[in-house]
Amino acid sequence: MNLLTTDEQRTMNQQHLDFCSSDEWADALRKWIVPQALDGVDLGDDALEVGPGPGRTTDLIRTMVPRLTAVEVDPTLAAPLRERMAGTNVEVVEADATDLPFPDARFTGAVSFIMLHHVPTPEAQDRLFAEVARVLEPGATFAGVDSLDSDDFRKMHEDDICVIVPPDTLAARLRAAGFRDVRVATNPYVVQFQARR
């Protein structure tokens, strides 16, 4: 399954991509979003990032681990990120996270930041959760954040993929995918989760 359904419906529209590439967004990630999501989390020495987009989260996560693999489905985002990360501890892989090209129990931790709503159906989101569980070693943590629904959030996502992850169902969906010790919390803007394989 390819998460990019048509040329007209990209994972991110240009306005959204511009914001996710901005210094303002990078500052919010650095100050609040990533530290809160990863509070108390050990990603080990071989981590997976699902859906890095333009790579502002990758810039932060790669400083926390010896090795990071960033999986991006959109070739127009994967190629420049791969070029930008050349010679670093990051490998950028163009692949669909609902069918990851890695062996079972490969990674020591995994992260996902503000990208789950770009997966086109709840069923595909559940396949992504199951695939992340498959490629994590026992005891490893999957941690992340996604946005809550709002009118402003919907406006930013006009003409792109936007399938909200309901916070009240997320814990059960992660458990069904093979995770345990699931923790889900919300604030006025986002839902955060941590779950162990």
Residue 9 has pLDDT above 60, yes or no: no
Percentage of the chain surpassing pLDDT 70?
Answer: 81
Q: Is residue 86 situated within a structural domain?
A: yes
Q: Is residue 112 situated within a structural domain?
A: yes
Q: How far apart are CA 184 and CA 86, in angstroms?
A: 35
Which of 115, 117, 111 has its CA nearest to residue 135? 111
Q: Is residue 183 situated within a structural domain?
A: yes
Residue 8 has pLDDT above 60, yes or no: no
DSSP count for the chain of H helices, then E strands? 8, 7
Range of the domain at 114: 14-196
Q: Is residue 5 situated within a structural domain?
A: no
Give the domain CATH number at 43. Answer: 3.40.50.150
pLDDT of residue 162: 83
Give the chain's mean pLDDT. 88
pLDDT of residue 21: 59
Q: Is residue 117 situated within a structural domain?
A: yes
Q: Is residue 6 situated within a structural domain?
A: no
**What's the domain count of the chain?**
1
Which of 59, 38, 58, 63 has its CA nearest to residue 141? 38
Q: Is residue 8 situated within a structural domain?
A: no
Q: How far apart are CA 123 and CA 36, in angstroms?
A: 28
pLDDT in tens, 148-162: 965 665 566 566 678
Q: Is residue 187 situated within a structural domain?
A: yes
Question: pTM of the predicted model, to two decimals?
Answer: 0.86
